[in-house]
């Protein structure tokens, strides 16, 4: 299933994408694509999409998961990206928080924070927790994953590394966390560690990679994170970016108002954002 949330920001309704690519309304069955719904996807899988009301027009897509408890990002998880950032692949995963106020829809504007000169892009594979768990063993890890989505881990490099302390300041500005358009359930993704991923800025290809060069893969990450805290339904974990970010260019290239960012991952859909200044 491809699950979506659609409609005005803050008032999104749950839906799914039918075999013709149209949105069907799920709101008679569930209140949101969130929480326990993600731990019990069987109830949605049992519904015939043709029995659901068709959604007319072209509504906005919201973030594909609601009520996100934790939004965790994995840093430096592609060896080539670590090299372009001038950092070594760490002996254990680097994790950092993207505060959930950053969450937005896949086609919402990227808002460049006031005074920012180093707003950057990162196409990433994110996964969403379904079944909760703590001290999860790697062999059982995928049973805790509800599905996958595209994430642009938008980053302000100066706030991230030049303003002291941890990275969250540079990762959590409003609209720095577009996820979606779809939450693609686990059964539809044969191998999450072999997906083509790409990102363009104003039509120019910047990132062109594959999840097959990820250092710490998803079963390990689920197990690893669950040693430190319980993973809950609706937690989102973004797994790091391949090479080709603005920081790694010579000279570095950053986003400015009017720039158009397009990104996607094989089987998980595409995002498109326009950059605007925060006034
Ligand atoms: Zn990232």
* CATH classification for the domain delimited by 65-277, as one of 3.40.50.720, 3.40.91.10, 2.40.50.100, 3.90.850.10: 3.90.850.10
Distance in Å, CA 51 to ligand 1 centroid: 39
Distance in Å, CA 124 to ligand 1 centroid: 7
Q: What's the predicted TM-score (pTM) here?
A: 0.97
Q: Is 15 helix (H, G, I), strand (E, B) or coil?
A: strand
Q: What is the pLDDT along the chain (279 residues), one digit of tens a residue?
A: 999 999 999 999 999 999 999 999 999 999 999 999 999 999 999 999 999 999 999 999 999 999 999 999 999 999 888 887 888 888 999 999 999 999 999 999 999 999 999 999 999 999 999 999 999 999 999 999 999 999 999 999 999 999 999 999 999 999 999 999 999 999 999 999 999 999 999 999 999 999 999 999 999 999 999 999 999 999 999 999 999 999 999 999 999 999 999 999 999 999 999 999 998
Distance in Å, CA 120 to ligand 1 centroid: 10
In the chain, at which residue ranges do the beta strands (DSSP E only) sit?
2-6, 13-17, 23-25, 71-75, 94-97, 103-104, 110-112, 119-120, 123-129, 145-152, 155-156, 177-178, 183-185, 196-201, 204-210, 236-238, 260-265, 269-277
What distance in Å separates the CA atoms of residue 49 and residue 16, rounded to the nearest whole number?
8
Distance in Å, CA 40 to ligand 1 centroid: 29
What distance in Å separates the CA atoms of residue 175 and residue 159, rounded to the nearest whole number?
15
Domain coordinates in residue numbering, the chain? 65-277
What is the phi-psi region of residue 76: left when phi exceeds 0, alpha when psi lies from -120 to 50, beta otherwise? left
Distance in Å, CA 268 to ligand 1 centroid: 18
What distance in Å separates the CA atoms of residue 197 and residue 124, rounded to the nearest whole number?
8
Q: Which long-range contacts (CB under 8 A, 24 or more apart) does 10-18 make?
A: 12/62, 12/63, 12/66, 15/52, 15/55, 16/44, 16/49, 16/52, 17/182, 18/49, 18/50, 18/52
Distance in Å, CA 112 to ligand 1 centroid: 17
Distance in Å, CA 195 to ligand 1 centroid: 17
């Amino acid at each position: 299933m491809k699950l979506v949330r659609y409609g005005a920001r803050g008032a999104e309704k749950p839906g799914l994408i039918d075999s013709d690519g149209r949105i069907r309304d799920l709101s008679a069955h569930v209140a949101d694509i969130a929480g326990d719904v993600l731990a019990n996807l069987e109830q949605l899988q049992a519904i015939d999409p043709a029995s659901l009301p068709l959604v007319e027009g072209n509504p906005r897509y919201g973030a594909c998961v609601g009520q996100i408890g934790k939004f965790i990002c994995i840093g430096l998880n592609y060896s080539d990206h670590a090299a372009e950032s001038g950092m070594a692949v760490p002996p254990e995963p680097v994790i950092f928080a993207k505060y959930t106020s950053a969450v937005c829809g896949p086609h919402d504007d990227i808002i460049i924070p006031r005074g920012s000169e180093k707003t950057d892009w990162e196409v990433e594979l994110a996964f969403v927790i379904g079944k909760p768990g703590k001290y999860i063993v790697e062999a059982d890890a995928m049973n805790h994953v509800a599905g996958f989505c595209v994430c642009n881990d938008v980053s302000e490099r100066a706030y991230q590394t030049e303003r002291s302390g941890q990275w969250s300041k540079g990762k959590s500005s409003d609209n720095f966390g577009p996820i979606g358009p779809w939450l693609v359930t686990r059964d539809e993704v044969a191998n999450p560690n072999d997906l083509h991923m790409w990102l363009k800025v104003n039509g120019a290809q910047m990132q062109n990679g594959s999840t097959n060069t990820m250092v710490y893969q998803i079963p390990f990450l689920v197990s690893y994170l669950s040693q430190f805290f319980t993973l809950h339904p609706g937690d989102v974990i973004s797994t790091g970016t391949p090479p080709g970010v603005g920081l790694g260019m010579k000279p570095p290239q950053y986003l400015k108002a009017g720039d158009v960012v397009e990104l996607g991952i094989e089987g998980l859909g595409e995002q498109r954002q326009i950059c605007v200044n925060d006034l």
